Amino acid sequence: MTPEKKVKDTAVKILKELKAYHFFPATHGYGRSGVPDIVCCYNGLFLAIECKAGKGKTTALQDREIQRIKDAHGVALIVNEENVDDLQRLIRNELVKIRIDEWT
């Protein structure tokens, strides 16, 4: 199993524990390049997760898609082996931040 696959498997395990709706968008030449690995919805929050391994960096296309998600007030997270175990906390922190922003 590749290191990135381990990150994806851990992310999916956490999303299942949260009972978050999620899927892996498959482009196969028909979709848009750079879309994050996992697209989900949790507690009414649109969330996209890009999984990386090691020192893997996002590409320019991935950066563009992540920024488009943020511009639309969605949440885009980049996780790797170092922070994937904190995914549940990261998601909840983003929810709190969004809820606070709604009231300010």
CATH number of 77's domain: 3.40.1350.10
Higher pLDDT, 103 or 68: 68
Alpha-helix residue ranges (DSSP H) falling in 20-75: 60-71
Q: What is the DSSP letter of 31?
A: S
Residue 56: pLDDT band (50, 70, 90) is confident
Task: Give the count of domains, the chain.
Answer: 1
Contacts 24+ apart (CB under 8 A), 59-68: 59/34, 60/34, 61/33, 61/34, 62/34, 62/36, 63/34, 64/34, 65/32, 65/34, 65/35, 65/36, 66/36
Question: What average pLDDT does the segment 81-104 reach?
Answer: 76
pTM of the predicted structure, to 2 decimals: 0.85
Residue 87: pLDDT band (50, 70, 90) is confident
Higher pLDDT, 92 or 19: 19
Question: What average pLDDT does the segment 27-45 reach?
Answer: 86
| CA-CA-CA-CA dihedral for 28, 37, 25, 30, to nearest 10 | -30
Find the domain containing 17 and state its range: 3-103
